[in-house]
Amino acid sequence: MPGKSLRDRLKNGESLIVAEGYIFEFERRGYLKSGSFVPEVVLDHPELVKSLHEEYVHSGSDVVLAFTEQIEWAVEGGADFIVAETFGEFGEAMMALECIQKYGNGLPSVITLSLPMSMKMFDGVPIDEACKRLEDAGADVVGLNCGRGPTTMIEPLKVIQKACKGPIAALPVPYRTNENQVTFFSLTVPGTDKMAFPLDLSSCYCTREEIRKFAEECKTLGIQYVGLCCGNAPHFLREISAVYGKPAGALKYSPEMEKHYIFGDEKKNDPYYTDMYKNKLTQAQQ
C-alpha cells in the first residue's frame, strides 16, 4: 500500500511477503559465478536484474531489495527501510543496527540472523536473547534468515516469539533441512555422502506443498515478515502469497489440475486418456 510506512503496516497487523535469493537465481540462470558470488550481472545485464525483481513482485513480494550483500536498502511502495542480514554473529547484527541508526536518517530497520546448528549464535548468544536485545536496541523487526530450511526454522521462531514483543521475520532457504542436517550447509545429496552445498542443492529442494505448509505455520504463529532466502523461486513465493491472501498477479496462473489432460476430472475416467497414459508408462519403463 503506497504511502503507508513499514511501521504503520506492521502496527496495523499487516504482513509483508519478502523475496530474497537473487544471487542463487542468477547463478542458476548463468549470469553469476558460484564461488565469488560478485553480482556482476548488475553491470552486465541490468535489464535482467529489473526483470527478476518484477517476477518476484508478480509472485507477491511486497518488498524490492537492492541487489547487494548483507546490508540492503529496501523500498516498499512509498516507504523506505533498511534490511541487515547477518551470518551467525550477534555482534555483527548489533553493529549493523548501530550503523543503520547512525547513518540511516531515521529509517526503520529489519535485522535478521542466520542461526547455526545450535540455538546459539557463533559468539555464544542464545537466539532468543540476541533478538530481544536487538529489539530493545530499536530494531523494528527481528528474526531469522537463510541457513535453515522451513522444517528446522519453525522451532527457533517460536522461541524468539516468546522473547520478543514486536514483529518477527522468517526467511528460510527452500531446502529440506532436518534434525540431523540442520542447515543447508550440512545437507548431503540424497542417497550419498556427497555434500550438496553449494552446487548440488537442487537435489534437496522442498516441494511447493512443503513451502505452503511452512507459510501456514508462520501465519498461525502470527509471523508478519515472511518469505524465502537463497534458492527462492517465483513459484515458491506464490505459495506463500496464496496462504497470506496477497493479491499477487501470479496467482492467476496457479495450477488447476482438474483441467490437466491426464489428471483432469473430465478425462480421468475416459478410456482414451487412461489407456494412453498407461501405454506411456509402459513405454517409459521398457
- Give CA torsion, residues 91, 166, 54, 79, to 10 deg: -100
Please report the pLDDT score of residue 70 as a whole number: 46
Give the integer Cα–Cα distance in Å for 97 and 92.
Answer: 9
| Domains by residue range for the chain, with CATH | 6-255 (3.20.20.330), 259-286 (no CATH)
pLDDT at position 219 = 97
- Dist CA 264 CA 256 (whole Å): 9
C-alpha dist (Å) from residue 128 to 53, 116, 125, 143: 32, 13, 8, 9
Give the pTM: 0.87
Q: What is the pLDDT along the chain (286 residues), one digit of tens a residue?
A: 455 788 889 999 999 999 999 999 999 999 998 887 778 898 999 999 999 999 999 999 998 887 765 445 454 444 478 888 888 899 999 999 999 899 888 889 999 999 999 999 999 999 999 999 999 999 999 999 999 999 999 999 999 999 999 999 999 999 999 999 999 999 999 999 999 999 999 999 999 999 999 999 999 999 999 999 999 999 999 999 999 999 899 999 998 887 777 777 665 566 655 565 556 556 655 5
* pLDDT, position 284: 58
Long-range contacts made by residues 196-201, C-beta under 8 angstroms, separation at least 24? 198/34, 199/34, 201/175, 201/231
What integer pLDDT is reported at residue 77 of this predicted model? 44
User: What pLDDT shows up at residue 237?
Assistant: 97
Q: How far apart are CA 283 and CA 281, in angstroms?
A: 5
Alpha carbon distance 65, 225 (integer Å): 14
pLDDT of residue 5: 82
Phi, psi of 66 (to 5 degrees): -65, 140
Could you give the C-alpha distances from 212 to 31, 40, 67, 72, 163, in angstroms and in order? 29, 33, 26, 27, 26
At residue 278, the pLDDT reads 58
